[in-house]
Amino acid sequence: MTHVHIAAARQGLAICPHLGRQEVNADGEVQRPIPDGANRCLALSDPIRLSPDQQRLVCATERHRACRRYVLAESGAAPATFEPIRPLLLRPAIIGALVVLGLAVALAIGYLLSGGSLVVSGIHL
């Protein structure tokens, strides 16, 4: 698999050196417009597709220097494979905490609606 980097064709621009294509097309084209669907992030061992907004707003600007994949590749501390950061709301502990919070709110509302007393199994609280 040949890696063709856009940055090599555009010396002097603030473009990420890891933005490019995995394979040369039939015309041998080296330079691709930004954004382009054929562009990939080649910073780590697992090239990934990039959205047009990502390419335009991050990869083709100085902001690419803050990209996690860029930092890992440039530091030499890149893992064998890249694991994206999981969104916070998908973690089981967060979901469990939200369920407990919902139950606590429901009990508090029930307490207030019952006039300040709650009957649980014949015991007044």
pLDDT single digits (tens) 9-22: 445 568 898 888 87
The C-alpha atoms of residue 35 and residue 55 are separated, in whole angstroms, by: 6
User: How many Å apart are CA 58 and CA 39, to the nearest integer?
Assistant: 13
**Ranges of residues in the chain whose predicted pLDDT is under 70:** 1-13, 24-32, 78-90, 117-125
* Predicted TM-score (pTM) of this structure: 0.50
CB distance 59 to 53 below 8 Å:
no
